[in-house]
Every structure is written in structure tokens, then in C-alpha cells.
Amino acid sequence: MPRDRPDRTAAFHRTHFSELLIADTIRAIEQAGPLADEVEMREAFGTASARETRLLVRARLLGHRLSLDRELLRWREAALAATFALTLLAFLTAYGTAAAIIGSGRTINAVTAFFALLGMPTLTLAIWAVAAASGGSGLFGHLSFGNLLLGLLARLPGERNPHALTMAQSAHGLLQRARLLPWAFGAVSHAVWAAAFVLLLAALWFAFSFQQYRLTWETTILDAEFFVRFVTFTGALPHWLGFPLPDAATLIEPGAPGGDHRAWAWWLIGCAFVYGLLPRAVLGILSWAMYKRGVRRLHLDTADPYYRKLLARFDELEQSRVVDPERRAPSDHAAAVRASGETSAARAVVGFELPSELAWPLSGLAQADLLERIAGAGSERRALLDQLAGLRPRVLLVICHAASSPDRGTERFLREAARQAGQTALLLVASENATASGARRWQDWLAQSDLSHIACFTDAAQAAAWMEAAHG
């Protein structure tokens, strides 16, 4: 039976940080030019509705196409290997230090051992503190172990993704912008140091348990009082936690028989515990917590022009839907124009829905048998149509306001009025500085509404000439 080969990307566990990292990497890649993302845009639009989620889904899909998730998986495996190597290194360091302290002889110089144990770790701790205080940028940030690791990851041998370096830079930038760099790198380095101290303490405990040592101090220029003060001072904190402190007699005369070497040894173990392990463990946990908290708060910077552009594109994908479609009503108006034989010789000039400030009657159009203007109320319309029906004018000129929008109410009136007249024309009057587009709108509308037999004028003199001609 053929076994399915496990899909490597299926094993990829997505975290909030990995999502953001891939999004930022895609952003960096697209600085050089946009990726073809029509499919991804649509899919992201369909699967998510929140703005930020859409951006993340789009990036995830593009990242999958560019195998960024595979690369990230590779990084994780490499990081696991690195952790193993580091633990090994920590063990070797611990072993080496322990060997240096315990040495070959049975006499241990307690103060030298103290500095050998705590000197290097304290120095690196101070460097980390400075880097943390400067927010991870600056010289110490560049020199940090984490930064080197990141660069190393991007240059991992093997099947390397062409965008690996970009991704490493993105990771660095992302952490730096969020001021998480010292915490992220700190969590790793503190954990390594803590592991080293655990091993070291175990080695010390083992050595002191099963072998007899004499702890002492040596000096050329200092007096005994200094060592008494040094040991009491450094031992105060471990003593407070329950570690025994050697008595003054043993301290002043470490070589004397009956000296309390057990207390001496416990002082050394206590100091390694309190000044070595404890701060690393506490800071490691703190760094981890700070990193976790920071990552949880991390969001895409949606005010970034790049993301705003994408959001504007997502907005354009937003669909509207027709909920009540158009059903064209059957046209019930058959344009019936009266034959001229049935009409009287009268002329009618009618103003329809004109603005009140317009001078009436219009100059040059005052000579008519019916000269009327209405605002368009139902009763007015009926009265006017009745008048027209009684008069049956040969020519009818309807005057409308060019700037107003033609509508079906106007169409109804025009149709019914034209039915009572021999020939009908429309004159559009404009208030001052009106545009020609208003008149064109009316002309188009006439043509569309099967009213093209109605002539349309924009000039009163032309309309007057038409009336003369039509009247005959």
C-alpha cells in the first residue's frame, strides 16, 4: 500500500508572529515590484472580513506560493538543532569552568573561583542590559548573539529560498520596530546561561560531595580583613536564602585545622546560585513573558502606505447586490398627434415647473391665445389640460427649466398636452450662466422617451420663429 509522503508545509504550525513575519517579508519583496496577486486577493477577500486578517491571509497565500512557509519550517528545524548545539556548548563551558575551579589539586582559591564562576556571565549580562536599554539598536544590538543567529539562519546551507535573506531582515526589522529585539534574543541567551549554571552547580555539588577540598585565599598586597569583608558581603544574600556562611575564624585563618570548609563550599555554591543562576532564570522568564506579550500586541501597521493601498483594493472588491431588479413597465403611451385639421388656429405658450424668479411671459413670446405658467401641482395640470382640450391650438410651446432634470411627471404632462395640439415644441430656458449640458440632457431624454417629434429649442427667438412657421 503506498504511503502518502507527509507534506512538509502541512506540518508548519502558524503563529501570530510567523503570520506577521511572512506579511512583512512579502511587503519587503513587493518593494521591488508588485506580485501577481489577483487570485490571492480574491481568496483573502472571500475567507476573511476583518481588514487586518485579510491582509494576513493574502500574505500567507503569497508566502505559500513563494515557499516562505517552507523556509520558516526549515528555520525552526535549524533553530532546534542550534538549541541542541548551544546546550552542548553550555555543558562544555560549564565543564570547563568547573574543571578550572576544581582543578587538579585539593586546594581551591575561593576568591579566584568566585570570579572565574561569575566574571564572564556578569559581563555578558551587562552587555545585554545596555542593548536592552537602547532598544536593541546600536552597536550592541548588531553584535548580539541573536542577530548573528538570524544572519546564519538566512544563509543556511541546503535548499535555500531566494527570499531567505529578506525574511531574516524582516524578522530583525519587525522585532526592532516593536522593541522586542532584546527580549527575543534575551530569552534565548538567558536560557542558555541558566542551563550552563544548572550544569555547573551540579558539577560543583558533585565534586564537593564526594571529594575533600580545602578552600582558601591568597594575597600579596591585601590584608585578611578584606577577605572577611568580601566573603561576608557576597555571602549575605545566599545566607539570607539559607546557605551557610563560614565563620570569621575560618576566614581569617583558612589554613588552620578544624576550619569550616563545608561552609566555604556552600558559600561558593550559594554565590553561583544567587548571582549566576537566579538572575538568568528570572530574566529568561521575564524576557520570554515580555516577548510573548509584545508579540500578542503586535499588529500590522495598517497606516503604512503599502497596506493602505491593499486595503483600498480590497474595498473595491466589495460587492453590492441588486435586491429589487428592474422590470420595465410596458409603455402605455402611444404618441398620438392630432391632425392639423382638427385644431384651431390658436397658439398656446405654457410654462411648466419654472423657477418663480424667472420673468414671465418671456420676451418675444407674449403673443399667444393661451399664455399660462404652472408650477406643476395636480389641480393646475388638470385645469391647463382642460383649457388646451377646449382650445386645441395648432401650435403649442412648452417652456421648461433647462437646469432641472427631466422626469416622468414632465413626460406625462408633455404627452398629454401634445395630444391636444397640432404641433408641439419645447423651449428650454436657462438661468444665467447655465451650461449646455442641461439642454443636451433634455434632448437625449426626448429621444429616449419616444418624444422625438417634439422639437427642442434653447433660444427664445428660434422658438418664436418656429411658432410663426408652424402657424403658417
Q: State yes or no: residue 158 binds another protein (CB under 8 A).
A: no
Closest alpha carbon to 79 in 164, 25, 21, 154: 154
Q: Which window, 86-94, 243-251, 269-277, 352-360, contacts another protein (CB under 8 A)?
A: 352-360
**CA 421 from centroid of its chain's CA atoms:** 68
Strand partners of residue 350: 372, 398
Interface with another protein (CB under 8 A), residue from 1, 33, 318, 359: 318
Q: 373, 403 in Cβ contact below 8 A?
A: no
List all residues 6 or more positions away from 132 whose beta carbon is below 8 Å from its beta carbon. Answer: 182, 183, 186
Interface with another protein (CB under 8 A), residue from 77, 225, 247, 315: 315
How many residues bind another protein (CB under 8 A)? The answer is: 57
Cα distances from 306 to residues 44, 60, 170, in angstroms, run 17, 16, 15
Q: State yes or no: residue 405 binds another protein (CB under 8 A).
A: yes
Which string of x and - marks every residue 89-128 that binds another protein (by CB under 8 A)?
----------------------------------------
* Nearer Cβ to another protein (265/300): 300
Interface with another protein (CB under 8 A), residue from 325, 334, 359, 472: 325
Interface with another protein (CB under 8 A), residue from 381, 395, 402, 427: 381
Which string of x and - marks every residue 422-461 that binds another protein (by CB under 8 A)?
---------x-----x---x--xx----------------
Q: Which of the residues 47 through 86 are near another protein (CB under 8 A)?
A: 48-51, 53
* Nearer Cβ to another protein (212/379): 379
DSSP letter (8 states) at residue 303? T
Q: State yes or no: residue 409 binds another protein (CB under 8 A).
A: yes
Q: State yes or no: residue 165 binds another protein (CB under 8 A).
A: no
Q: State yes or no: residue 302 binds another protein (CB under 8 A).
A: yes
* Nearer Cβ to another protein (392/441): 441
**CA 166 from centroid of its chain's CA atoms:** 19
Interface with another protein (CB under 8 A), residue from 87, 122, 169, 232: 169
Q: State yes or no: residue 220 binds another protein (CB under 8 A).
A: no
Closest alpha carbon to 422 in 344, 313, 363: 344
How many other C-beta atoms lie within 10 A of the C-beta of residue 158? Answer: 6
Rg (CA), the chain: 47
The nearest distance, CB 460 to another protein, in angstroms, is 20
* Nearer Cβ to another protein (207/311): 311
* Nearer Cβ to another protein (34/364): 34
* Cα within 13 Å of Cα(89), Cβ side: 10
Q: State yes or no: residue 329 binds another protein (CB under 8 A).
A: yes
* Nearer Cβ to another protein (223/316): 316
DSSP states along 206-274:
HHHHHS--EEE---SSS-HHHHHHHHHHHHHHHHHTT-----HHHHH-TTSTT--HHHHHHHHHHHIII
The nearest distance, CB 394 to another protein, in angstroms, is 28
Interface with another protein (CB under 8 A), residue from 77, 304, 386, 459: 304
Interface with another protein (CB under 8 A), residue from 199, 401, 423, 456: 401
Q: State yes or no: residue 419 binds another protein (CB under 8 A).
A: no
Closest alpha carbon to 278 in 202, 190, 204: 190
* Nearer Cβ to another protein (169/344): 169
The nearest distance, CB 331 to another protein, in angstroms, is 10
Q: State yes or no: residue 380 binds another protein (CB under 8 A).
A: yes
| Strand, helix or coil for residue 352 | strand
The nearest distance, CB 179 to another protein, in angstroms, is 12
Interface with another protein (CB under 8 A), residue from 320, 339, 359, 472: 320
| Strand, helix or coil for residue 42 | helix
Peptide bond into 238 cis (omega under 30): no
Cα distances from 385 to residues 98, 372, 380, 389, 432, in angstroms, run 116, 11, 9, 6, 30
Q: Which of the residues 8 through 37 are near another protein (CB under 8 A)?
A: 31
> Which class for 98: exposed (0-12), middle (13-18), buried (19 or more C-beta within 10 A)?
buried
DSSP letter (8 states) at residue 277? I
Interface with another protein (CB under 8 A), residue from 83, 232, 404, 443: 404
Strand partners of residue 398: 350, 426
Distance (Å, whole) CA 131 – CA 181: 9
The nearest distance, CB 424 to another protein, in angstroms, is 19
Q: What residue ranges bind another protein (CB under 8 A)?
A: 31, 48-51, 53, 137, 169, 173, 302-305, 307-309, 312-313, 315-316, 318, 320-330, 332, 353-356, 375-378, 380-381, 401, 403-409, 412, 431, 437, 441, 444-445
